[in-house]
Structure 1
Amino acid sequence: MALSNPSQLLLRNMDLLDSKSPLLIGCPDAEFVIEFTQTYPQATITSYQVNYAQHLTIEKRCATVKSVFAEQYQTSQQHDLVIFYFPKSKQELVMQMAMLSQCLAEHAIVLFVGENKGGVKSAPKLTKPYALRCDKVDSARHCLLFEMVYNNQREPFDLASWYQQYEIVLDDKTLTVCALPGVFSQAELDRGTQLLLEHLPSSIDGKVLDFGCGAGVIGSYIKLLYPNADVEMIDVNALAIASAKRTLEVNDLTATVYPSDGLSDVGTGYQAVVSNPPFHQGIKTHYQTTELFLQSVNQKMTSNGVLTIVANSFLKYAPILEQQFGNVQKCANRHGFTIYQVNKR
């Protein structure tokens, strides 16, 4: 598998990675981690991920590396080097830098790498409170690499203070949404999800799956409407999982929330599946996860089970649904979004 451009940029700067206790954050390439371990076998390397799929791959392929998947990285260890793959959300970077200040050694080195179009140019400005200096050290393959020297500024970190909260009101129901930085629709309800909530099946019971739950809006709203439904909510992102759990908690609702790479950790017997499925990853558009979901979700559903999704109208999901389920019903089309509903035969 080809390495991502940021990993290729790091490879040509391997001399900067010489350290005793390095921490990799958000690395998408197990091949790079393997190269890192071979170049510096004496290093105690830790990988921290909020992406469950990347975590599983590194955990499986890099036996000597400690792999952590969580919404918050916590350790008593003092890392002398951090290699930060720039996340898609700048606020996520700011939060994670505040979080990491608790576990950095004196004058630790922090490397920020990412694609130019992904916002990495803002790394010096965003991390200024923690930097003695932050300088560009290399650029190639439309990517930048910055080196920061930590200024030993430590302040208590409270993850709860980073949740953003807002209310949505539909019909006579009010739901409070809580979301961490980087989670889809962190600040307000997006139009696609609102359209989906307005066109849910008229009756829902039994096992229900909210695929790609984000902050938990859809699954929580279903639980609000149908208290007897057995709702499960899944996402690949640890920050989304934590947000969905918080949304349930503040609304006094109960559901099962857990990570899954696509449908990897999902059971069977679902009578209803609902989703505003993801199609963006980083700065590029990716459809593979959703297309695999649409091609295989019928195997997880009961006879006469109902699948309801919302998607941008330009996405060509209808042919996939027709191939898997047969007849596809378009329930609504508004603001560039379409609601598709199908019944398993």
Structure 2
Amino acid sequence: MSTSNISQILVRNSELLSAKTPLFINLMADGFIENYLLDNPNAKISCHNTNFFDYEAIKNKYNSQINTSFNSEYKTALEHDLVIINFPKSKDELAFTFAMIAPYLSDNAKVILVGEKKGGIQSSPKLTENFLQGCQKVDAARHCLIFAGIVNAENLNKNFNIEDWFKTYQININNISLTIASLPGVFSQKKLDVGTALLLDNLPQSMQGKVLDFGCGAGVISCFIGKKFESTQLDLLDVSALAITSAQRTLALNNLSGNVFASNSLSNVAGKYQHIVSNPPFHQGTKTSYQASEDFLRGIKSHIIPRGDITIVANSFLQYLPIMHEHIGTTKRLISKQGFNIYHCKK
């Protein structure tokens, strides 16, 4: 794995990062952690990731040396004197992250924010003014920025309750009403997105048996299917711990059951399905990344039973049709509307 720009700028500022009990949030296993271990051999390092891919990579590489966690909520018995946060794609997710870690920070803990310039990190001083003292830029390199500040102990609220962070909204499609619950940072957190709405209007007319919802987000697609086709059994996967918790909550709010699990593309998919449905993601954090979705399309055929089918929605500019033709079978474009295409293939 090549070293990311974020890891490179952190390495070049290693003198700022010495600590006894550092916490790294959503960093990658691509160089920085290894360098930090060399410079701080006695540090008790914790890594918390909400992305399953990064969590597995760190756990597999450093399991005996550091504490790792993958969850929507961070909990520990430690008190951290340093936190390094990979700046998230959502401002709400940043606020959520600060609130989540507050119970586990020492009064004078240093907080480092690192991220790409185009990801919105320039607004760090304003976004953190109620949480940090003296948040300021300390370096710019590799198209990235680092901001540093000290925890404002007077404003440190150590009573975190994840229930306070769910956003809920109602949707009604084809006379099916659903309540959607979503945590910050989850796709389409506050309203139904256009692509998913189009997909729900173009599902197979009849569905039964096992259904896999790939990249489930808050669970909208599965819950709609579960309400409309009561004989289905729902499996939902996502790479995001925040999405998994949101989907579990959405299922419960709609009196539905389903198996929700983490997977890096198809890494944890073992079964075969009658129906595959997806609004495949093409972002990793603030970056555009097609790898997981293309791997999904290239590998999904072995998980579709005979006469089973796959239905996906994709932005019109994404070249998924030839991949589906080659790796799954003859694929139809059912509709092209509002910048999205619906593709369907029957095995």
Question: Which TM-score band applies after superposition, normalised by the shorter structure?
Answer: over 0.9
Show the counterpart of 1:94: 95
How far residue 89 of structure 1 moved from its aligned partner, in angstroms, is 1.0
Output the TM-score relative to the length of structure 1.
0.98
Aligned partner of 2:114: which letter? Answer: V
Do residues 264 (structure 1) and 298 (structure 2) align? no
Show the counterpart of 1:293: 296
How far residue 132 of structure 1 moved from its aligned partner, in angstroms, is 2.0
Do residues 168 (structure 1) and 171 (structure 2) align? yes
Show the counterpart of 2:239: 236
Do residues 148 (structure 1) and 145 (structure 2) align? no
Show the counterpart of 1:76: 77
**CA distance in structure 1 between the aligned counterparts of 2:101 and 2:126, rounded to whole angstroms:** 17
Name the SS of the counterpart of 2:265 in structure 1.
coil
Any residues of structure 2 matched to 1:92-241 within 5 Å, and which? 92-152=93-153, 153-155=155-157, 156-241=159-244
**CA distance in structure 2 between the aligned counterparts of 1:151 and 1:323, rounded to whole angstroms:** 56
How far residue 79 of structure 1 moved from its aligned partner, in angstroms, is 0.1
Q: Given that residues 211 and 235 in structure 1 are in contact (C-alpha distance below 8 angstroms), is that contact kept between their aligned partners in structure 2?
A: yes
How far residue 99 of structure 1 moved from its aligned partner, in angstroms, is 1.2
Name the SS of the counterpart of 1:326 in structure 2.
coil
Show the counterpart of 2:346: 343
Aligned partner of 1:56: which letter? Answer: E
How far residue 154 of structure 1 moved from its aligned partner, in angstroms, is 2.7
**CA distance in structure 2 between the aligned counterparts of 1:115 and 1:103, rounded to whole angstroms:** 27
Gaps of 5+ in 1: none
**CA distance in structure 2 between the aligned counterparts of 1:259 and 1:334, rounded to whole angstroms:** 31
Aligned partner of 1:232: which letter? Answer: D
Name the SS of the counterpart of 1:129 in structure 2.
coil
How far residue 329 of structure 1 moved from its aligned partner, in angstroms, is 1.2
Aligned partner of 1:36: which letter? Answer: Y
Name the SS of the counterpart of 1:202 in structure 2.
coil
How far residue 40 of structure 1 moved from its aligned partner, in angstroms, is 0.6
Q: Given that residues 171 and 192 in structure 2 are in contact (C-alpha distance below 8 angstroms), is that contact kept between their aligned partners in structure 1?
A: yes
Do residues 316 (structure 1) and 316 (structure 2) align? no
User: What are the superposed Cα offsets for residues 224-264 of structure 1, whole Å, 9 maximum, x if unpaired?
Assistant: 11122110000000000010011011111111111111111
Name the SS of the counterpart of 1:128 in structure 2.
coil
Aligned partner of 1:94: which letter? Answer: A
Q: Given that residues 30 and 61 in structure 1 are in contact (C-alpha distance below 8 angstroms), is that contact kept between their aligned partners in structure 2?
A: no
Do residues 251 (structure 1) and 254 (structure 2) align? yes
Any residues of structure 2 matched to 1:8-47 within 5 Å, and which? 8-47=8-47
Q: Given that residues 4 and 29 in structure 1 are in contact (C-alpha distance below 8 angstroms), is that contact kept between their aligned partners in structure 2?
A: no
**CA distance in structure 1 between the aligned counterparts of 2:24 and 2:328, rounded to whole angstroms:** 42
Q: Given that residues 196 and 221 in structure 2 are in contact (C-alpha distance below 8 angstroms), is that contact kept between their aligned partners in structure 1?
A: yes
Aligned partner of 1:132: which letter? Answer: Q
Aligned partner of 1:261: which letter? Answer: N
**CA distance in structure 2 between the aligned counterparts of 1:21 and 1:263, rounded to whole angstroms:** 35
User: What are the superposed Cα offsets for residues 280-303 of structure 1, whole Å, 9 maximum, x if unpaired?
Assistant: 223332111111100000011111
Aligned partner of 1:106: which letter? Answer: D
Q: Given that residues 212 and 236 in structure 1 are in contact (C-alpha distance below 8 angstroms), is that contact kept between their aligned partners in structure 2?
A: yes
Paired positions, count = 344
Q: Given that residues 7 and 29 in structure 1 are in contact (C-alpha distance below 8 angstroms), is that contact kept between their aligned partners in structure 2?
A: no
How far residue 33 of structure 1 moved from its aligned partner, in angstroms, is 1.1
**CA distance in structure 2 between the aligned counterparts of 1:223 and 1:86, rounded to whole angstroms:** 36
Q: Given that residues 48 and 69 in structure 2 are in contact (C-alpha distance below 8 angstroms), is that contact kept between their aligned partners in structure 1?
A: yes
Aligned partner of 1:245: which letter? Answer: Q
How far residue 39 of structure 1 moved from its aligned partner, in angstroms, is 1.4
Q: Given that residues 29 and 61 in structure 2 are in contact (C-alpha distance below 8 angstroms), is that contact kept between their aligned partners in structure 1?
A: no
How far residue 220 of structure 1 moved from its aligned partner, in angstroms, is 1.0
Q: Given that residues 268 and 299 in structure 1 are in contact (C-alpha distance below 8 angstroms), is that contact kept between their aligned partners in structure 2?
A: no
How far residue 37 of structure 1 moved from its aligned partner, in angstroms, is 1.1
Q: CA RMSD in A?
A: 1.0
Show the counterpart of 2:309: 306
Q: Given that residues 274 and 309 in structure 2 are in contact (C-alpha distance below 8 angstroms), is that contact kept between their aligned partners in structure 1?
A: yes
